[in-house]
C-alpha cells in the first residue's frame, strides 16, 4: 500500500473527515484490520485565512510548499491538498516536491463526466466560485460551470467561514444552501459540486434536486484507489 500525504488543517474539521474517510475506505477495500498509511501535516488555519483575506497567495504558496516538502520527507508517495480553495497554489506546491499531487478538481471532474453530465453548479468559498483557478480546471475538461448569483455567493462563503469551519451547523444555513442549489438547478445545472470540504458537513444528496458531488469523498476515493492498487512490493 502506498502512503498518502495530506496537507490539512484548512480547516481541521474537514481534515478530520479526510482522515476518517481514508481509513474507512481502506478497511472496506482490503478488509480485516487494514487502515490507511498516511502522513498528515496540519496548518494553523487562522494564519492561512489571514493570507487568503489579504490576498497574499504567494506567501500562502510558500507555506504549503514547505509543508509539502516535509510530508514528502516523511515518506508520502503522493500528496492530497485537503482543501478546495488552496488549490489556487497547487502549481507552487507541485513544483516544490518530487511526488505527484492528486488534484482535487481532476478527481471531481472525473466523477461528473462519469455521470454523463455537462453543466455543473459550483459551491465553495468566494475564491473558488469567483476566481478562475478551479473553474478553469473544470472547463478544460469540457464542463460548463455555473456559480450562484452575488447574494448566493456571499451567503455560501459567509456560512463556510463563520460557521462550518468552526463546526457550527445551523438549520437556517442548510435551508439557505438548499435555496442556492435549487436556483442553480433552475438555471440548468445538472448537478452541483460541493466545492468546499466543509460544505459536506451541512448538505448532501437529500438537500438537492440534482446529483451532488462531494469533493472530499471523491478526492479520498481517488487517493485510496491509487494507494491500494499500487501495493505490490510496499
Same-domain check for residues 84 and 10: yes
Q: Distances in Å between the alpha carbon of 3 and those of 90, 214, 223, 231?
A: 20, 23, 10, 10
Give the domain range for residue 205. Answer: 105-214
Same-domain check for residues 70 and 119: no
Instruction: Assess contact for 43 and 9: CB atoms under 8 A.
Output: yes
Q: Is the pTM of the predicted complex or chain greater than 0.85?
A: yes
Number of domains in the chain: 2
Q: What is the 3-state secondary structure (H, E, C) of 175-208?
A: HHHHHHHHHHHHCCCCEEEECCHHHHHCCCHHHC
Catalytic positions, please? Answer: 83, 196
Cα angle value 145/146/147 (rounded, 5°): 125
Same-domain check for residues 98 and 145: no
Same-domain check for residues 95 and 167: no
What CATH code is carried by the domain that includes residue 123? 3.40.50.1860
Say if 234 falls within a structural domain.
Answer: no
For every one of its 234 residues, what pLDDT tens digit does the chain have, with 9 covering 90 and above? 999 999 998 888 889 989 999 999 999 999 999 999 999 999 999 999 999 989 999 999 999 999 999 999 999 999 999 988 899 999 999 999 999 999 999 999 999 999 999 999 999 999 999 999 989 999 999 999 999 999 999 999 999 999 998 889 999 999 999 999 999 999 999 999 999 888 988 999 999 999 999 999 999 999 999 999 854 344
pLDDT of residue 230: 54
Same-domain check for residues 134 and 206: yes
Strand order in the sheet with 78-81: 38-42, 4-8, 78-81
Same-domain check for residues 111 and 99: no
Same-domain check for residues 222 and 204: no
- Residue the block writes with cell 506567501: 59
Instruction: Assess contact for 90 and 128: CB atoms under 8 A.
Output: no
Which cell numbers in the block locate residue 188?
440548468
**How far is the C-alpha of 138 from the C-alpha of 135, rounded, in Å?**
5
pLDDT of residue 177: 97
Cis peptide leading into residue 11 (ω within 30°): yes
Amino acid at each position: 500500500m502506498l502512503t498518502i500525504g495530506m496537507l490539512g488543517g484548512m480547516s481541521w474539521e474537514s481534515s478530520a473527515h479526510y482522515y476518517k474517510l481514508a481509513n474507512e475506505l481502506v478497511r472496506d477495500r482490503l478488509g480485516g484490520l487494514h487502515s490507511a498509511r498516511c502522513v498528515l501535516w496540519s496548518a494553523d488555519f487562522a494564519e492561512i485565512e489571514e493570507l487568503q483575506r489579504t490576498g497574499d497567495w504567494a506567501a500562502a504558496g510558500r507555506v504549503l510548499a514547505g509543508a509539502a516538502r516535509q510530508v514528502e520527507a516523511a515518506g508520502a508517495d503522493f500528496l492530497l491538498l485537503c482543501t478546495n480553495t488552496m488549490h489556487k497554489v497547487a502549481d507552487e506546491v507541485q513544483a516544490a516536491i518530487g511526488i505527484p499531487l492528486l488534484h482535487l478538481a481532476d478527481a471531481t471532474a472525473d466523477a461528473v463526466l462519469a455521470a454523463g453530465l455537462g453543466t455543473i453548479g459550483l459551491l465553495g468559498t468566494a475564491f473558488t466560485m469567483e476566481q478562475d483557478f478551479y473553474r478553469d480546471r473544470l472547463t478544460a475538461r469540457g464542463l460548463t460551470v455555473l456559480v450562484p448569483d452575488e447574494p448566493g455567493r456571499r451567503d455560501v462563503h459567509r456560512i463556510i467561514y463563520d460557521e462550518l469551519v468552526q463546526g457550527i451547523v445551523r438549520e437556517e444555513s442548510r435551508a439557505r444552501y438548499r435555496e442556492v442549489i435549487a436556483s442553480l438547478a433552475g438555471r440548468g445545472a445538472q448537478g452541483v459540486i460541493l466545492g468546499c470540504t466543509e460544505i459536506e458537513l451541512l448538505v448532501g444528496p437529500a438537500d438537492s434536486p440534482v446529483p451532488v458531488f462531494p469533493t472530499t469523498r471523491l478526492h479520498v476515493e481517488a487517493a485510496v484507489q491509487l494507494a491500494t492498487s499500487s501495493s505490490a512490493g510496499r
